[in-house]
Structure 1
Amino acid sequence: MIKNIIQSNETVTPNAQTLKVLHTHFPQCFDKEGKFDIDKFKDLIKNDIDITHEGYDLNFLGKNYAKLLASIDTTTVVQPDLEHNVKPENANSQNLYISGDNLDGLKHLLKSYTGAVKCIYIDPPYNTGSDGFVYNDNFNFTSQELIDKLSISEEQAQKIFDLTTKGRASHSAWLTFMYPRLLLARDLLTPDGVIFISIDDNEQANLKLICDSVFGEESFVANIPWRKRTAKSDVPFGVSQDYESIICYAKQDFTAALEGGTRKYFETDDLPDRPWRIHDLTKQTNANERPNSNFTIVNPKNGDKFPANPNAVWRVTSETIKDFEKENRIVFPGDYDFLKISKPVLRYFKEDDEKKAGGMFGFTPVSTNLPKEVGMSQDGTKDIGELFNSKVFNFPKPVSLLKYLIKAATNFDKSAIIVDFFSGSASSAQAVLEVNAEDKEGGNRTFIAIQLPEVLDSKNASQKTAYEFLQSINRPTTLDFIGIERIKRAAAKIKSETKADIDYGFKHYTLVEPSEDTIDKLEEFKETEMFTNNDTLSLFGKETVLETWLVKDGYGFGAKVEDVKLADYTAYLCGKHLYFIEAGINENDMVALLDRYQQEPSFSPENIVVFGYSFNFSQTEMLRKNLFVLRDSHKNLKANFDIRY
């Protein structure tokens, strides 16, 4: 588990993530040793792209270091809040609140939510000198390791080492902090996903450049000015800083880009004067995350059945599919001879696209003149004041502003995932709940919020109120618990006022970095021991190990797990993975496992995952050897055997 990741991280290079993407899409450009051949790549694209030696790029001290941080895996584990998560309002909730460093949080999310997030909103530190931003990461690289990994001089390594370990608030420090987070966030977005980033003039120009570098200049949508106050501020030269910026980028659909950015519409006799196009009806989300979208679509014309793919369920729910069919928005295989499709697809009419023209995704936000109803800073203060009866957080963004942005991005996707990895007081989570409650068509958007559990200082005037509030309700005095409490209070208020039938709950997880003592124990463990009395599992807990693995294996946070009772041992099943975590397995359990494989048609997990510290050498070998029996059974199942340390 952690040991494997540490060993893997030792060989990671700054461009590892980029090379992984290239290998996925352009395997022909890699040699037999797995090395990227740039000449083959140039030859592949030279007919379509004018390659020159001139170019424009953003460079800053720490850029390669930032790429390295994005490439190495996180060694944090996912610790579920068991008491909170089992409560009735939370047990089946799809909303997530994650306490932890957002760099770690994004890496965990990418293992299950790559390409699944429709909208990201973040309000990062502005690096103004008064917002408390000081970059001081927790990576323990030595200067020599930086020299080796980044191929830089000792002097350059020392500059980066000083930048990232002594706490800096320079432009380079801020860019080094933001760059890896934006790189990871990009890969979360759907092909038509959008990101909004609030910023002020101090780093606005740098943010624009870094976003051009990460998302591509062609993905830039707008730099939207937001008026935050009417009272004039006292600043040099008499220019009052009344506005902030909201920088917006939208990922481009790759297919549309290859076709020159134009959409292909069909004109058919059954729909005169209503040109239409098609769009994929599946969503890269598994059945555990979206159980209401895991159903079989039946063609009402001929009864043909199309079951959902459990790893990419339908975009619609079993309830909303009926409305889509009534509106003639579902196209089935065989409906049109010219369409070569094997499963149902969505139909979008040109008239719908024209309504969206000039704006984002459903109505027309005006980049130069946001409507007054989006509110100002004073409205954000009022929002949180109504819930807490005190000022527990400084300068929260108004919920009305975030609702406006969320509606713009998700107007045609009522089940969209919205991520905020600088959650702060959780204004965005409240905004998602309010948008869903107000949606007459039944909004089931979900939020994922990540917030660093920053320890509040009772002696700091700006944090004292929040500190005292959390003490008064007997909660940990860290900033993430202000967000947790806000969501609870906002949900109760919205439910009382609207009576809307929406998801009001959320599951809570904490990202925990193992201590040095724990790491030492992992390193000391000998995999070939014939007997073991190892207590490693107690250092993490069964629930934490299982949750971390479920996220790693693509099932998402809070995935449903089935207990698999063998003779005297219990394993845990999710999808195609069967997990063996606790100690105590014996030969009778192995026999029972093989019997289930051979006698139960529906029981066929393809991956056997073992928590190596709980098993001695003879037990792991027993599992490994007996699984080969399945290859000769009537199922002819080749189960993968994965021991994790």
Structure 2
Amino acid sequence: MTRPPDRTARNVALLAELFPACVTEVRSPDGTPRTAIDLDLLRTELGEYLVEGPRERFHLDWPGKRDALLAANRPAVRALRPDRAVSEDFDRTRNLFIEGDNLDALRLLQETYLSKVKVIYIDPPYNTGSDRFVYPDRFRERADDYRTRAGLVGNLATDGRFHSNWLSMMYQRLTLARTLLRPDGVLLISINDVEQANLRRICDEIFGEANFLTQFVWLNEGNVDQQSAIKGVHEYVLAYARDLTRLGRPAIIDPNIEEESKLFNERIENSITKNGPANPESTITLPRGFPAWFDNGYIAPRDDKYPKILDPITVENGRTTQQTRLKSGWSSRNLLELFIANGCTPIQDAKGRTTTFALTDRGAIYYAKHRPPDAGHVVSVLRNMGTTKQNSAMLAGWGIEFSYPKPVFLIEFLIRTFTTANDDALVLDFFAGSATTAHAVFRANAADGGNRRFVLVQYPEPYPGPGFDTIADLARERIRRSGAEVKAQRAWAGDTGFRSLRLDLPSLKDARREPHEIRQKDLEHDADRALPGRTGEDLLFDVLIRFGVDPAEPIDRHHIAGHAAFTAGDLLACLDTHPPYTPELFAEAARRRPARMVLRDAGFTGDELRINAERLLGPGIDLRVL
């Protein structure tokens, strides 16, 4: 089984599709041929649109930027190992909690969640100039170093690379995160004043300025009575779309809007008579049969007030009986003409509202707009969303101490702004912290009956207080407590479980060898590629990721012809080697007709069954052997 391709290889494939004339072939250091891009030909294709060398151009640069991008493009070298002991409803839940470095996790999830995530919300470590900074990205390190390295390193303000370190850390993660978003997906990042300007610049580069959505200002109004020259009471949430043209309108109304607001009216009525420099007089001709808001009547011509009536109007049974001309300035002339051209039947305005027009008994033309049930209204200033102090107190009530957690209502509001109940949206947070995002997903689903699910990633940073060994342990406990509370308070029976997975070395040894490296005595040693101590379920998650199967797919454990087996989606895996495989196993698998089947080479006791395995399964089943 091959490793998942790295992002560089994927980018080469995309260039080859766009510029096939630029594709060439070179030999790797080991002598094998591989596809490459002829840069000279690519320059010719791009012509004047290519910028090279020292020419002036608008961009953000810093020491380490190139290394950060190279690190993001490296292939995944980790695997996911299941941890049932700390999971909740492991087999059935669609939620994931991944313990480990989020850069490794983002690399690993490229194949599985490519273009599938609806919302990414992150609250990364702010660049405060303290001696505690997260994710010491080493571009080369041994596996043992990875497992034993500390979770925190310093980024003091006295460091000459104070901003560069933080930007490199964010740049590579956001580069990978963008590819996970759906075409209509949204990235949301909490940030303060220190790096807000730089963060916008790198997001403009990664996502494109055209996909900048807004910069929310969150009023965090706790402790405002402390004396200060200028007391900061706000932070930001940057919002970028993967493709702004694909993003739908929010389906939620800001909770601070008064209940009496017209935004809550299902039907909006108003006159389209509007005179002024921007709306000069023009004549509109209403056809016979134009609707009226009265059954029968007569309106005489007039020239003394707007709208001026040039022809007499007679209405019978709620419709005009002859063609009529009116003169005025009009606020919605184009929409009215579309209504007339549509046979005076309802049309949709630019906001998706069903719109009709009609005459009143005073000769005015009114529109009536019916607000769709999913209409929303979101403002850029987020007020009354809770404070970190309130949320710290809530966690303390569960025996969890955590400094500066984001308010759960703030994250719930953002999630409901950019997802809908029937969207089956996937929400990703790769700086999980105390797992506020998981709590917010539960609340959002309970509020509207949705089926949103989450993927959270948290490094096992040592926890300084009592009760937990790591922040990851604390986050898992928060998910359990919040899930139970939401179910109890909302009478909701949705999914509050999570499948806990740990980043570790792959369960399969890399069997690739150069010809000169192969020795006879090693062949028997390499017959079984599984590392010592790895279970069939460990191997299963290696298989899921390598095949691009969602690691949150429900798993059924069962037996086929006496062999332990797993079914996940359209995949059937028999990954234990005892008892050895038998013809009956293949006969039963053929009856079940999975799309894919995975076995271990060590499960075959002879060559005959191995050679005939595909024939016994029959056509249409993709067989892979580890």
Q: Shorter chain as normaliser: what TM range?
A: 0.5 to 0.7
Letter in 2 for 1:554: G
1:419 aligns with 2:431: no
Change (3 A) 1:254 1:405: closer
Tell me, what secondary structure is at the counterpart of 1:190?
Answer: strand
Contact preservation (8 Å) 1:362, 1:412: no
Letter in 2 for 1:363: G
Contact preservation (8 Å) 1:77, 1:512: yes
Q: Distance in 2 between matches of 1:514 and 1:52?
A: 41
The residue number in structure 1 matching 2:382 is 370
Change (3 A) 1:555 1:362: farther
Q: Distance in 2 between matches of 1:141 and 1:481?
A: 26
1:478 CA displacement: 0.7
Q: 1:71 aligns with which of 70, 73, 88?
A: 73
**Aligned residue-pair number:** 492
The residue number in structure 2 matching 1:113 is 113
Residue correspondence of structure 1 range 56-455 to structure 2 within 5 A:
56-85=58-87, 87=89, 91-130=91-130, 132-140=132-140, 168=155, 170-229=162-221, 230-231=223-224, 238-252=229-243, 272-275=345-348, 363-367=376-380, 369-371=381-383, 373-388=384-399, 392-411=401-420, 413-439=422-448, 442-455=449-462
The residue number in structure 1 matching 2:255 is none
Q: Distance in 1 between matches of 2:526 and 2:577?
A: 10
Residues 85-136 of structure 1, C-alpha deviations (whole Å, 9 max, x = no match): 464xx54221222211111222233222211111111000112123721552
Change (3 A) 1:402 1:28: farther
1:625 aligns with 2:617: no
Residue correspondence of structure 1 range 525-604 to structure 2 within 5 A:
529-530=523-524, 536-561=530-555, 569-584=563-578, 586=580, 589-596=581-588, 600=591, 602-604=592-594
Change (3 A) 1:208 1:448: same
Q: Distance in 1 between matches of 2:247 and 2:496?
A: 37
Residues 273-296 of structure 1, C-alpha deviations (whole Å, 9 max, x = no match): 23499x9xxxxxxxxxxxxxxxxx
Residues 328-357 of structure 1, C-alpha deviations (whole Å, 9 max, x = no match): 9xxxxxxxxxxxxxxxxxxxxxx89x989x
Structure number, greater radius of gyration: 2
The residue number in structure 2 matching 1:282 is none
Letter in 2 for 1:74: A
Higher normalized helix content (fraction of residues): 1
1:137 CA displacement: 2.7
Tell me, what secondary structure is at the counterpart of 1:547?
Answer: helix
Q: How large is the RMSD of aligned CA atoms in angstroms?
A: 4.3
Contact preservation (8 Å) 1:117, 1:417: yes
Q: Distance in 2 between matches of 1:374 and 1:426?
A: 17
Change (3 A) 1:433 1:565: closer
Change (3 A) 1:571 1:29: farther
Tell me, what secondary structure is at the counterpart of 2:474?
Answer: helix
Contact preservation (8 Å) 1:232, 1:242: no
Q: Distance in 2 between matches of 1:206 and 1:55?
A: 17
Change (3 A) 1:535 1:223: closer
Tell me, what secondary structure is at the counterpart of 2:189?
Answer: strand
Contact preservation (8 Å) 1:120, 1:420: yes
1:202 CA displacement: 1.6
Tell me, what secondary structure is at the counterpart of 2:503?
Answer: strand
Change (3 A) 1:176 1:596: same
Q: Distance in 2 between matches of 1:545 and 1:120?
A: 29
Change (3 A) 1:37 1:363: farther
Q: Distance in 1 between matches of 2:232 and 2:504?
A: 40
Residues 512-558 of structure 1, C-alpha deviations (whole Å, 9 max, x = no match): 2479xx97999999796357796944432221111222133222124
Letter in 2 for 1:36: I
TM-score, structure 1 normalization: 0.65
The residue number in structure 1 matching 2:35 is 34
Letter in 2 for 1:385: A
1:203 CA displacement: 1.4
Q: Distance in 2 between matches of 1:220 and 1:513?
A: 38
Contact preservation (8 Å) 2:118, 2:427: yes
The residue number in structure 1 matching 2:489 is 497
Q: Distance in 1 between matches of 2:131 and 2:154?
A: 14
Letter in 1 for 2:347: R
Higher normalized strand content (fraction of residues): 2
Tell me, what secondary structure is at the counterpart of 2:533?
Answer: helix
Contact preservation (8 Å) 1:220, 1:248: yes
Q: In structure 2, list runs of 5 or more residues that go unmatched.
A: 26-33, 143-150, 157-161, 249-337, 355-368
1:193 CA displacement: 0.7
Q: Distance in 1 between matches of 2:518 and 2:579?
A: 19
Letter in 1 for 2:451: N
TM-score, structure 2 normalization: 0.67
Q: Distance in 1 between matches of 2:375 and 2:563?
A: 53
1:167 CA displacement: 5.7
Q: Distance in 1 between matches of 2:502 and 2:51?
A: 47
Letter in 2 for 1:181: R
Contact preservation (8 Å) 1:125, 1:131: no
